[in-house]
């Protein structure tokens, strides 16, 4: 997830095509890891793992496409949809961090590691969303 949040750095080093290739390769690996975790937990369908990488993949794709053809997609409605994809990504990541079936002895609210990682995930999601949305929508 940390590599997926380095979009500007990767684009500055490799250009937009290189950033697209690296970003999508890392996104596929991240998707596979989240998919395996959700499959093993059996609480949320593994297909929801795509939500964990959707906003980052959209960033790399949008940065690769010419900006003139994106003018209709830069409206406030699309900005709100991009924010909703970030909320879905944060929710999926937090849900995949929950303990599995064998750890059902205590509630999630009493698991300090889960609480810390949930806070870090929310901070990561908000900061990366603000960085990427500002870059995409030229705020």
Overall number of domains in the chain: 1
Does residue 139 surpass a pLDDT of 70? no
- pTM passes above 0.85: no
pLDDT digits (tens, 9 = 90+) for 44-74: 888 888 999 999 888 888 888 866 777 777 7
Provide the 8-state DSSP code for 44.
Answer: S
Its domain, for residue 51, covers 3-137
First to last CA, the chain: 24
- Residue 101, pLDDT score: 60
Mean pLDDT in residue range 2-11: 80
What tokens does 91 get? 């929710």
Average pLDDT, the chain: 83
């Amino acid at each position: 997830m940390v590599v997926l949040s380095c979009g500007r750095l990767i684009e500055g080093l490799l250009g937009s095509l290189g950033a697209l290739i690296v970003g999508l390769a890392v996104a596929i690996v991240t998707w596979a890891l989240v998919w395996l975790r959700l499959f093993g937990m059996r609480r949320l369908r593994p297909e929801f793992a795509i939500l964990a990488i959707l906003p980052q993949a959209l960033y790399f794709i949008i940065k690769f496409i010419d900006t003139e053809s994106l003018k209709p997609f830069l409206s406030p409605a699309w900005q709100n949809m991009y924010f909703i994809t970030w909320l879905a990504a944060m929710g999926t990541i937090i849900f995949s961090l929950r303990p599995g079936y064998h750890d059902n002895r205590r509630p999630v609210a009493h698991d300090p590691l889960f609480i810390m990682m949930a806070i870090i995930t929310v901070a990561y999601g908000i900061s990366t969303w603000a960085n990427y949305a500002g870059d995409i929508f030229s705020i």
